[in-house]
Amino acid sequence: MRVDLWAGIQYQGAAMTLPRAPVILVFDSGLGGLTVFREVVKARPDARFVYAADDAAFPYGGLDEGALVARVTAVMDRLVALHAPDLVVVACNTASTLVLPALRARFALPFVGTVPAIKPAVERSVTRRVAVLATPGTVKRDYTQALIDEFAGDCKVTLVGSTALAGLAEAQLRGEAVEDAAIAAEIAPCFPDEGPPTDVVVLGCTHYPLLRTRMERLAPWPVAWIDPAPAIARRVTQLLGAPPPAHDGEEEAAALFTSGRAVTPELRRALGAFGLARLHIEAMPLGA
């Protein structure tokens, strides 16, 4: 067995064999995990997907560590009992950098995590300066520091914890107006004036690729933006195998929200564009 820090999962090499299409649960605090979901769907179009957004507790970046472990574990208990997934993708850096060991100890299921892509960013940097743009929770994790200690070498890593960007990404997806200035202010600390210029930015929160084209336009100079979603999808096919050559095509995917709030027509449209036509609202209030 080897431990692969970058993808955040443990595996023994051989893919699982199932007598039917797998059930894959993709989990996030909100809508950011959709950026991972779309890549995993491309990799296993035959699978049955459930996308679960714990929007009752959004943003996870604002929860303290004890509360976050308790919350994710409680919601996962319910989701696993309801949907019996064959594999779970924790499409959230804020949760993965903290909760994966507890989830793996609790469930006899493969969990694929999402953690900041520091190793590939460092490998790519020519200026030897990279920035990690993530939630305040992710930037202060021991796990993130361990990735830097192991992989950064001579490369300087600027950690940028944003309190607002995940919410701005959700607002944009819901069709609300998001000012350029609000995005520019959040990404500005990735580009310090002193020292070598940043040439790679790690998108260390799954919400941020939703704003990627705008961040590219608003950045003070061009950089490489690293989105881990394709690597996560590859890891899923490593575990579950490639799809069979002939399959029945895409199953209708379902989205589940824990807040119990009604889904607006704009959000329904946005989810439809990701292939999520069936919606379940199951209130799982925080603290219940």
**Binding-site ranges for ligand DGL (CB under 6 A):** 28-30, 32, 58-61, 92-94, 135, 138, 166, 205-207
Contact criterion met (CB below 8 Å) for 200 and 121 = yes
Residue 243 C-beta: closest distance to ligand DGL, Å: 26
Catalytic entry in 76, 92, 118, 276: 92
CB nearer to ligand DGL: pick between 22 and 61: 61
CB nearer to ligand DGL: pick between 36 and 130: 36
Catalytic entry in 205, 210, 232, 284: 205
Radius of gyration, CA atoms only, the chain:
18
CB nearer to ligand DGL: pick between 90 and 253: 90
Tell me which amino acid residue 74 is.
A
285, with CB counted inside 10 A (0-12, 13-18, 19+), is: exposed
The span from the CA of 117 to the CA of 201, in Å, is 10
Contact criterion met (CB below 8 Å) for 135 and 205 = yes
CB nearer to ligand DGL: pick between 21 and 205: 205
Calculate the alpha carbon distances from 4 to 57, 123, 173 in Å. 29, 16, 33
Residue keyed to tokens 């490593």: 238
CB nearer to ligand DGL: pick between 21 and 89: 89
Question: What are the percentages of helix, strand and coil residues in the chain, rounded to 5?
Answer: 40, 20, 40
Calculate the alpha carbon distances from 283 to 57, 200, 258 in Å. 11, 39, 5
Residue 166 C-beta: closest distance to ligand DGL, Å: 4
Residue 204 C-beta: closest distance to ligand DGL, Å: 7
Residue 145 C-beta: closest distance to ligand DGL, Å: 16
Backbone angles phi, psi at 80, to 5 degrees: -65, -40
Reply yes or no on whether 155 is catalytic: no
Residue 136 C-beta: closest distance to ligand DGL, Å: 8
Which residues are known to be catalytic?
92, 205
